Amino acid sequence: MRAGSGALAGYLVADAVSLAGTRLSQIAVPWLVLTTTGSATRTGLVAFAGLLPLVVAQALSGPWIDRAGPRRVAIGLDLASGVAVAAIPIAYAAGWLHFPVLVALVALTGVLRGPSEAARHAMVPALVRHVALPTERVTGLVGTTDRLSALVGAAVGGGLVALLGPATALLVDAGSFLACALVLAVSTRGVGGPVSERTAPAERSSYLAELRGGWLALRHDPVLLGMMVMVAVTNLLDQGYSSVMLPVWAERAGGGPAAIGLLGACMGGAALLGSVLATWRAERLPRFRTYVVGYLLAGAPRWIILAVGAPLWLIALVHVVAGFGAGFINPVLGAVQFERIPADLMGRVGALSLAASWSLMPLGGLLAGLAVTGTGLSAGLLLFGAAYLLTTMAPVLSPAWRTIDQRPQPAAAGPATASTAARS
C-alpha cells in the first residue's frame, strides 16, 4: 500500500460524508419550512439566509485558514456545524423554533460551513504531497467521490426526510458533521500545517493585507482569474437551468417530475463514469484539449436539445453525453488550480475562488425566469446555451490558457512549487 494512502482514504470518506449531509439538509430544511409555515416566500428567505452568510464567510476566511492550518479549521468548524445543525431539531422539539430563530440558525450554519468547505478544499495540495500521486489523480478521486456521494446523498436524504420527518432527519445531518470531523482528525495527522508555523511573527502582515494578497494572486494570474469568473458564470447558468428552465420544460412537455429525475440520473450517472475514467487516465490527459472537449459536450447541447422539442429519449441521450464530458472537467481544473497557487496563499486564494463560484448562483433562477417570461422557453434556452458556450470557450482565445498543459517536473511535483475553481 502506498505511504499516506490512509490519509487520502480518510479525506475522501470525510468529504463524502460531508457532501451527503449537505444534500440531506438541502432537502430537509426547505421541507421543514414548507410544512411548518406553508409559505414559499419564507422558504426562499431561509435559503437566502443560508447562502449569503456562507459566501461572505468563505470569502473572508482565507487568511485564517492559512494561519491556523486548513486541517485544524476544517475539524473545528465541522464540530461547531454539528452543534448548530442539531440546535434546529432540538429547538423544534422544544417549541422554540419560531421563524426568526430558524433563520438565525440556518445563517449560523452557513457562516460555519463556508470556511469549513474552503479549509477542506485547501487540504488537497498537502494530500498530494503526502501521498506522492499526480495532482490530477487526487483531484479526480475527490471529484468522483463528490459525484457519487451527491447522487447517493440526494436519494438517501429524500428517503430519510420522508421516513423520519425533516426535523429528525437534521439530527442525522448533525451527526454527519461530527463523523466528518472525527475521520479527518484520526486519518490526516501530519498532513500539512498552518502557514503561521512556517512564517516568523515579524513577517506576518495584517489580516486585511493577507486577504488582499489572495486577491492580488488571483488578479495577476490570468488562468486563475479566468477560471474563477468562468465557474461563477457557468454556475449561474446551471442554476437557472435546473431551478427554472428544466421544470418549465417538464411541465409544458408533459414529462413532469419523472422526466426531471430521468435527466438528472442520466447526467449524474454519466458524469460519475466520466470522472472515474478521468481519474484513471489522470496525468496522461492533455489538459487544454480535455477542458475544451469536456465543456463542448457538457454545455450548450443540453439547452439546444430542450429548445428544439426533441423526443425524451434523444434528450436523455444528450444528457448522458453531457454528463460524460462533465466528468472530465473538474479533475483538470482542480489540478491546474492547486498547482498554480503558492502553498502560503492556498487558503486565501482557494476560499476566494470557492466563494466566487457561489456568488452569482442566487441570480440564476431570477435571470432564467425573466428570460423565459420575456422571450419564451425555447428562446430563453437558446440564449442561456449561447452564454454557456461563449463563457466556456473564451479561454480558447487566451494564449495563457495553453500553459495549463505544462505540468510540474517530478522532482518538484506538487502545488507548492508552481507559480501563482461544485456541488451543482
Say whether pLDDT at 393 is over 70: yes
Name the band, by pLDDT with cuts 50, 70 and 90, for residue 411. Answer: very low
Are 294 and 326 within 8 A, CB to CB? yes
**Quick one: pLDDT at residue 2?**
55
Rg over CA atoms, the chain = 21
pLDDT bracket for residue 1 (50, 70, 90): very low
Highest mean pLDDT among 136-140, 249-253, 310-314: 310-314
Among 35-39, 103-107, 302-306, 399-403, the range scoring the smallest mean pLDDT is 35-39
- What is the per-residue pLDDT for 422? 39
Helix, strand and coil content of the chain, in percent to the nearest 5, comes to 85, 0, 15
Tell me what pLDDT residue 409 has: 62
Q: What is the pLDDT of residue 3?
A: 52
Residue 203: predicted pLDDT: 57
- Give the C-alpha distances (Å, rounded to integers) separating 186 from 8, 122, 125, 142, 164: 12, 18, 19, 19, 31
Element (H, E) at 147: helix 135-164
Matching fold, domains 5-188 and 214-406: yes
The predicted-structure confidence for 348-359, as pLDDT tens digits, reads as follows 888 888 888 888
Q: Which three cell numbers, joined as nine digits, stand for 378?
A: 425555447
The mean pLDDT of the chain is 85
Q: In whole angstroms, give the CA distance from residue 307 to residue 393.
A: 21
Stretch (H or E) spanning 37: helix 5-37
pLDDT(418) > 60: no
Distance CA 48, CA 406 (A): 41
User: Above 50 in pLDDT, residue 96?
Assistant: yes
Please give the pLDDT value at position 194. 64
Can you give the pLDDT at residue 202?
45
Determine contact, residues 332/280, Cβ cutoff 8 Å: no
User: So where are the chain's domains?
Assistant: 5-188, 214-406
Neighbours of 264 (CB within 10 A): 16
pLDDT digits (tens, 9 = 90+) for 17-45: 988 888 888 888 888 887 888 776 787 78
pLDDT tier at 136 (50, 70, 90 boundaries)? Answer: confident
233 pLDDT band (50/70/90 cuts)?
very high
CATH class of residue range 5-188: mainly alpha
Q: pLDDT (tens digit, 9 = 90+) per residue, 157-215? A: 878 888 888 899 899 999 999 999 999 999 988 776 665 444 444 456 788 888 888 88
pLDDT for residue 251: 81
Q: Which of 373, 11, 405, 372 is nearest to 188 (CA)?
A: 11
Instruction: Give me the mean pLDDT over the 91-98 stretch.
Output: 91
Out of 23-37, 112-126, 371-385, least confident range: 23-37
What are the cell numbers at 286?
492533455
Contacts with 114 (C-beta within 8 Å, 6 or more apart), sequence order: 53, 54, 55, 56, 57, 58, 61, 354, 355
Q: What is the CATH number of domain 214-406?
A: 1.20.1250.20
Q: Taking residues 109-119, what's their average pLDDT?
A: 92
